[in-house]
Amino acid sequence: MMTTPSLVPLPYRVVARRDDTADTATIALEPVGTALPPFAPGQFAMVYAFGVGDVPLSVCGIDGNRLTHSVRAVGAISGALRALRPGATVGVRGPFGTDWGLPGAAGSDLLVVAGGIGLAPLRPLVLAALAAPGRYGRLNVLVGAREPRELLYPAELTAWNAAARVLTTVDRADDRWQGDVGVVTTLLDRAVFEPRTTTAFVCGPEPMIRATADDLVQRGVEPERIRVSLERTMHCGTGHCGHCQLGPLLLCRDGPVVSWTRARPLLLVREL
């Protein structure tokens, strides 16, 4: 269900913080006063570091009015957000964009494929699926990372494995890594799902999304049942500024989650 987003930044306070990797931290935010409308898994917020600027951050956790974001430092704004400590205040707008549409996948096998920081927006989907045993078919969570030390939420991945099939792979192993090495698509061979009745949720770098979605289509998953989250430079969150345009889509409004049916032709056009 779509809610009307707040276009005015509301003050939120950092109430918890955890370093995930060398460049990524997870921060939990709670409203100082009025709370934003509820977020759905897959949607994003515009988070403003006062005096620096705002960036889109997907929610990786939704617990009442508490929002959790994993933020990777890739520039000045995300660097400032990653460095925040408990007690700091930020401005938050949202919720923006489309969600994963998990309830519509009831009865089908679920296939979650994440690459790198792409696991963050998929985390609330996994948690929602795990919280509703019996509503969905088999749950597979396939995760790829550059190195073992860059895997997000390793303890949670282990915990999820009790009720889901969780497989991880890295591009570069270290001496202690005993798991798989290779691209995340190689894990599809060991996922357990019936392609004709599977809904897939894919998030990560675009080439990884393309490779995964094309592989799934080859295996018989309907393109309409493959949902991908696309990343562009989002700014206004309302489809007005046009920074996030991808062909006919304004991804802050029409995305970030779209079906592979819509995304594939757009991702193959150069200079779109």
Residues in contact with another protein by CB under 8 A are: 23, 55-58, 70-75, 77-78, 81, 115-118, 120-121, 144-146, 150, 169, 171, 173, 175, 177-183, 185-186, 188-195, 204-205, 207-208, 211, 219, 231-234
Q: Which residues contact 143 (CB under 8 A, 6 or more apart)?
A: 114, 115, 119, 151, 152, 157, 166, 167, 168, 169, 184
Nearest distance in Å: CB 33, another protein: 26
Nearer to another protein, 16 or 74 (CB): 74
Pick between residue 103 and residue 179 the one whose CB is nearest to another protein: 179
Q: Between residues 234 and 250, which has the closer beta carbon with respect to another protein?
A: 234
Rounded least distance, CB 196 to another protein, Å: 11
Do residues 55 and 47 lie in contact, with contact meaning Cβ atoms separated by under 8 Å?
A: yes
Residue closer to another protein by CB (options 129, 184) is: 184
Do 226 and 260 form a contact (C-beta atoms < 8 A)?
yes
For another protein, the closer of residues 78 and 98 by Cβ is: 78
Q: What is the nearest approach in angstroms of another protein to the Cβ of residue 263?
A: 17
3-class SS of residue 111: strand
- How many angstroms separate the CA atoms of 207 and 47, rounded? 27
Contact 158, 152 (CB under 8 A): no
Backbone angles phi, psi at 12, to 5 degrees: -125, 145
- Smallest gap from residue 34 Cβ to another protein (A): 25
Query: By C-beta, is 21 or 259 nearer to another protein?
Result: 21
Contacts of 103 (CB under 8 A, 6+ apart): none
Which stretch of DSSP H or E encloses residue 181? strand 180-181
Smallest gap, in angstroms, from Cβ of residue 177 to another protein?
A: 8
**Shortest distance, position 205 Cβ to another protein, whole Å:** 4
C-alpha 168/C-alpha 181 separation (Å) is 9
CA distance 62 to 193: 27
| CB 234 within 8 Å of CB 228 | no
Nearer to another protein, 72 or 93 (CB): 72
DSSP 113-163: EEEGGGHHHHHHHHHHHHTSTTTSS-EEEEEEESSGGG-SSHHHHHHHTTT
